Structure 1
Amino acid sequence: MKPTTDTCSLSPQDQYGFFSISLFVPLLLLLSPGLSNTISHWRGDEVGVKSTGLVLNFYKESCPQAEEIISQQVKLLYKRHKNTAFSWLRNIFHDCAVQSCDASLLLDSTRRSLSEKEADRSFGMRNFRYIETIKEAVERECPGVVSCSDILVLSARDGIAELGGPYIPLRTGRRDGRKSRGADLLEEYLPDHNDSISSVMDKFHALGIDTPGVVALLGAHSVGRTHCVKLVHRLYPEVDPALNPDHVPHMLKKCPDAIPDPKAVQYVRNDHGTPMKLDNNYYRNILDDKGLLLVDHDIAHDKRTRPFVKKMAKNQNYFFREFSRAITILSENNPLTGDEGEIRKRCNAVNKRH
């Protein structure tokens, strides 16, 4: 897949509006004071329908209320459980980056195979049960019509908006895969916190995402948290000298053990300043050497990525444009369409064949 031309633009009215505080709300029903007074739109109509077989509003005839139901469920769940937004955003990375955007991530383990969501690379992922909640709401309206893979993608889209990020029109029409992929494939396709910046870029470039797109995707580290087991190598036995010394005491307070219990809920918020908001503060932090992960430090200092980091630190609209473009490419990675795959009845299990 080739990188998509940047066609994201701001209309005059967008330049004076506010971002929706609903994580995945296409209707942008809630407006939150205090958010950035711009709103970015990914204009899918200008890009044209790709050969993926996906289209905007795929369910407009078969289930006209599908996207509204999904967005309303996301809004309701986010209101009750704020951390669902981070989970839905992470879902789209972990599912779509591994061979196909087909909801294989959501499948439970079986007696024969370990599921993707229980593999080491998926450490810390949770809230899968809320995808099932959304699926049940959609099934009540249109049984057997809307795929779990589309629900995964649309919940991520609306979740991004809930966190104050851009609303990104994403195409639908995906079908669900019938197998969970092995841990070895996750290791091959998903970047790790210890990977070099070259390795991270290579993995995303293979999906058709260019360097500014990679830098923008890493901006997802603006929200959520990093578990201490992923950080202690930068703190013990000696503190990584690349870390800003003013930020180290906070990290040590949150991660006081050199060998933390992986089952304990010990973590550091990715962005100490605006931890619940998807914004460009992340880029200012990493330029100030306050990034938690090695990859955060590397993109701020590598000559291939630093210019884009600096530009995104200064211009949130630019960050949102590149982020929208990259998410769109990611969401259209090798989908199952037409007669491929199936429409699962439950997202955590394949349909029984008679």
Structure 2
Amino acid sequence: MTKMMILMSFLLLLLSPCVFAQLSINFYRVSCPNAEQIVKQVVREEFAKDSSITAGLLRMHFHDCFVRGCDASILINSTSSKSSEKTAGPNLTVRGYEIIDEAKRRLEAACPSKVSCADIITLATRDSVALAGGPNYVVPTGRRDGLVSNPNEVNLPGPGQSVTSAFQSFKAKKMTLNEMVVLLGAHTVGFAHCGFFSNRLSNFQGTGKPDPTMDSALVTKLTQDCASGSNPKTFLDQNTSNVFDNEFYRQIRLNRGVLKIDQELASDATSSGLVSNLASNPFQFSQSFASAMVKMGRIEVLVGKAGEIRKSCGAFNSA
């Protein structure tokens, strides 16, 4: 074999989607060429009926990746003998499972046992962000599905935490403070039930008064909203609620953050400068968000022969 042939063989190996069993762009180009288009079509159909799916899928993706890595462990259904991550407190309000299930159904019909549920979550989230006006970024694929789903392992940063406390969770996943601030920008299309912030409206930290860092007009509005129904919900971005943009950062700079963690992003000395920059630069937010999502999507992934490719996203193959 000549040196040129050796070099060409080496280059072909590097271009192979399975090289070193790592994630790669167009991982399914041979095994399931239309995989990404199939997922995109499902998301497009669902988005046309309910544009709030972007927030749901973003939350699902985050909750999945921060527990055992991006392995679709959040999708497993509990059985009569064993509970799954779905039953953990922070996951009780996660939604969008039917979107992943439908995409999986169509993928199994086209390419049986080829596309992982973990990759479907990642692709569907990306597609929903783009449909909402956000960046349409490229994501590497090749994740495999996990074999464990334990509700006791669900330990996620909460809406009432400080910036410092929340960052410890992100740091543990090798995410930077800047990436945390950027990823929380997903709240631009999110919403929260009143139970997650009602303590800020009337008796903040036992003072008998609202949180002084919340805009008084917003306090009045949210108090009225939360007085109706049973634990109703409100948008976290009170301005362009259904559009994926950088308005969230402008809102929290005006003391219009609904969740404690959101408002503290704008006031904490470690993050306020980042918030100010993102509030004034929509292009930077878009680019930074795409980059942070790709990085988050790599957290502790299973590749190669690890895990499995589930036939049904809600159950292990051995079930």
TM-score for the superposition, normalised by structure 2: 0.89
| Residue among 259, 266, 277 paired with 1:293 | 259
Does the CA-based 8 Å contact 2:51-2:132 persist in structure 1?
A: no
Q: How far apart, CA to CA, are the structure 2 residues paired with 1:255 and 1:288?
A: 21
1:323-338 counterparts in 2 under 5 A?
A: 323-338=289-304
Deviation at 1:123, TM superposition (A): 3.4
Deviation at 1:208, TM superposition (A): 2.1
| Residue among 154, 157, 163 paired with 1:186 | 154
The residue that corresponds to 1:40 in the other structure is none
Query: Residues 220-263 of structure 1, C-alpha deviation per residue, up to 9 Å, x if partnerless?
Result: 11112110110111113331111101211211121117xx8xxx
Deviation at 1:52, TM superposition (A): 7.1
Q: How far apart, CA to CA, are the structure 1 residues paired with 2:211 and 2:241?
A: 23
Q: Residue 242 of structure 2: SS of its match in structure 1?
A: coil
1:91 lines up with 2:60 in the alignment: yes
Q: Residue 51 of structure 2: SS of its match in structure 1?
A: coil
The residue that corresponds to 1:275 in the other structure is 241
The residue that corresponds to 1:229 in the other structure is 195
Query: Residues 18-75 of structure 1, C-alpha deviation per residue, up to 9 Å, x if partnerless?
Result: xxxxxxxxxxxxxxxxxxxxxxxxxxxxxxx997710001000000000111111111
Q: Residue 172 of structure 1: SS of its match in structure 2?
A: coil
In structure 2, the gaps of 5 or more residues are 1-17, 204-208
Residues 248/50 of structure 1: CA separation in 2 closer, same or farther (3 Å cut): farther
1:64 lines up with 2:30 in the alignment: no
The residue that corresponds to 2:221 in the other structure is 250
1:143-222 counterparts in 2 under 5 A?
A: 143-183=112-152, 185-187=153-155, 190-222=156-188
Does the CA-based 8 Å contact 1:283-1:309 persist in structure 2?
A: yes
Q: Residue 333 of structure 1: SS of its match in structure 2?
A: coil
Q: Alignment identity in percent?
A: 35
> What is the identity, as a one-letter code, of the residue corresponding to 1:117?
K
Q: How far apart, CA to CA, are the structure 1 residues paired with 2:40 and 2:281?
A: 28
Q: How far apart, CA to CA, are the structure 2 residues paired with 1:51 and 1:205?
A: 26
Does the CA-based 8 Å contact 2:159-2:260 persist in structure 1?
A: yes
Q: How far apart, CA to CA, are the structure 2 residues paired with 1:147 and 1:127?
A: 17
Q: How far apart, CA to CA, are the structure 1 residues paired with 2:197 and 2:53?
A: 23
Q: How far apart, CA to CA, are the structure 2 residues paired with 1:172 and 1:120?
A: 29
What RMSD, in angstroms, separates the aligned Cα atoms of the two structures? 1.7
Q: How far apart, CA to CA, are the structure 2 residues paired with 1:100 and 1:308?
A: 26
Does the CA-based 8 Å contact 2:173-2:299 persist in structure 1?
A: yes
Structure 1 segments, 4+ long, off by >6 Å, are 49-52
> What is the identity, as a one-letter code, of the residue corresponding to 1:116?
E
In structure 1, the gaps of 5 or more residues are 1-48
TM-score for the superposition, normalised by structure 1: 0.80
Q: How far apart, CA to CA, are the structure 1 residues paired with 2:87 and 2:53?
A: 18
> What is the identity, as a one-letter code, of the residue corresponding to 2:114?
V
The residue that corresponds to 2:307 in the other structure is 341
